Amino acid sequence: MRSLIAALTSRLPSALLAAVFVVACVFSTVVAPLHAQDAEAPPVPEVTAEEKAANQKKLEELDRVSEAANDLDKPLYSPFIERYVLDELKQLRVDMAAQKVSLTENIVDRQLSAADKAITYATDTITYFFYLIAGFSSLLVIMGWTSIRDVKEKVHTLANQEISSLVEQYEERLRSIEEQLSEKTQHIEHNRDEIELTQEVHSLWLRAGREQTPTGKIAVYDQILNLRKDDGEALTYKADAVLELDEPQWAINLCLQALQIDGENGNAYYQLACAYAYLEQWEESISYLQKALDISPAYRDEAMEDSAFNGLYDSEEFATLMGIQQDHSSGSTTKGSDGAN
C-alpha cells in the first residue's frame, strides 16, 4: 500500500495528499489494537523445585522396586493372582492409551481454535482494508480522479497475494498437525501390539512351568521363540530340556545361540558345562562352569546337586572350583569351609 501511495504522490494535488494521510492514520489506529491482541500469549508454566524433587523421589522408588523384583528367588504370587495382575495391567494400559488419544484430541481442538481465531483476524483485517480502499476511491471520485480502474486492479492484485499467503501458511500448519496425529497413532498401535505380545509370551512361560515332560517343554519354548527369536532365556531353558532327552550336541548349539544374543547369560554357560559333562569333555565343562560362577556364584549350589557333574568329583580343578576338600587316603570328597557332612 505504501508503494502505491508513493507512486501516486507525483500525480496528486496537495489537498488529495492530505486526505490520503488522514485516511491512513485512521487505518493505523484501527489495526494496531488487533496486532496487540494477537501478540498476547498465555505464559508458559514453569516446573517448581518441589515438583522436580517429587519426580526424582518417584524415580528412586521405582528403581528400588525394580531391584527388589530382580532379587526374588521364587514367584511372588500364585498363577491366579498373576492372572488378576495381568488383567489389571492390561486395563491400565488400555486406559493410558485412551488418555493419550483424548489428550491428543484436546491439543488438536485447541490448535484448530487458534487457527480459527487467526483466520477471523485475517478476515477482519482484509475487511478493514477494503473499507479503506472504498473510502479512498470515493475521495478520488469526488476530487475528479479518472484512473479508478488502475487503482482497482492493483488493489485486487495486492489482496489476492495477501489471501494466498495466509492460506498457504494455514495449510502448512494443518499439514503439520496431521503428521503429528499420524505419528502418535502409530506409536499407540505399536505399544498395543507389544503389550499383547508380552502377555502371550508370559502365558507360554506359565504353560512351560506346568509341563511335566521335556518334549512338552520344548514345544512351548519353540512357540516362545517363534514370537521372539532373540529370547536368550527361552534358548537356555530349551537347552536344559534337550539335555533331559540326552541330546548334548543340540543343547550346545542352543546355548551358543543364546550367548550370541547375550554374552553375560550365566545360565547359558551353566548349560554348556552340563552338556560337555554329558560328552565327558571335562576341561570344557569346567571352563564353562567357571564362567557361570564368575557371573553368579549361586550356580555352585546347583552344580553340587546336579548329577551331570558326578564324573568330575575326582578332578582337583573341579574340587577347587566348588570348594570341596579331597580326602586322598580314603578317596572320598567333602565340602570345605562351608560345612562337612
pLDDT tops 50 at residue 40: no
Contact 137, 151 (CB under 8 A): yes
The Cα–Cα gap between 328 and 334 comes to 11
Least confident of 242-251, 310-319, 325-334: 325-334
CA 107 vs. chain centroid, Å, equals 20
Cell of 167: 492460506
Task: Tell me what the mean pLDDT of segment 11-34 comes to.
Answer: 47
**Single-letter amino acid, residue 123:** T
For the stretch 197-255, pLDDT in tens is: 787 778 777 877 777 788 888 888 888 888 878 877 888 888 888 888 888 888 888 88
Q: What is d(CA 151, CA 79) in angstroms, rounded to the nearest whole number? A: 85
Phi first, then psi: what are they for 333, rounded to 5°? Answer: -125, 145
> Can you tell me the distance from the alpha carbon of 112 to that of 246, in angstroms, rounded to the nearest whole number?
68
Burial class (CB in 10 A: 0-12, 13-18, 19+), 137: middle
Closest residue by Cα to residue 276 from 285, 266, 287, 288: 285
Summarised one tens digit per residue, pLDDT across range 107-128 is 999 888 888 888 988 898 889 8
CB 274 within 8 A of CB 308: yes
CATH architecture of 214-335: Alpha Horseshoe (1.25)
Q: How far apart are the first and last CA of the chain?
A: 105
pLDDT: which is higher, 60 or 27: 60
Q: Take residue 3 and report the three cell numbers written for it.
A: 508503494
Q: Taking 50 as the threshold, does the pLDDT of residue 23 lie above it? A: no
Task: Count how many residues are written for the chain.
Answer: 341
Residue 264: pLDDT band by 50, 70, 90 thresholds?
confident
Vertex 172: Cα angle to 167 and 174 (nearest 5):
95
User: Does the model's pTM come out above 0.85?
Assistant: no
Give dist(CA 24, CA 22) in Å, integer: 5
- The pLDDT value recorded for residue 315 is 77
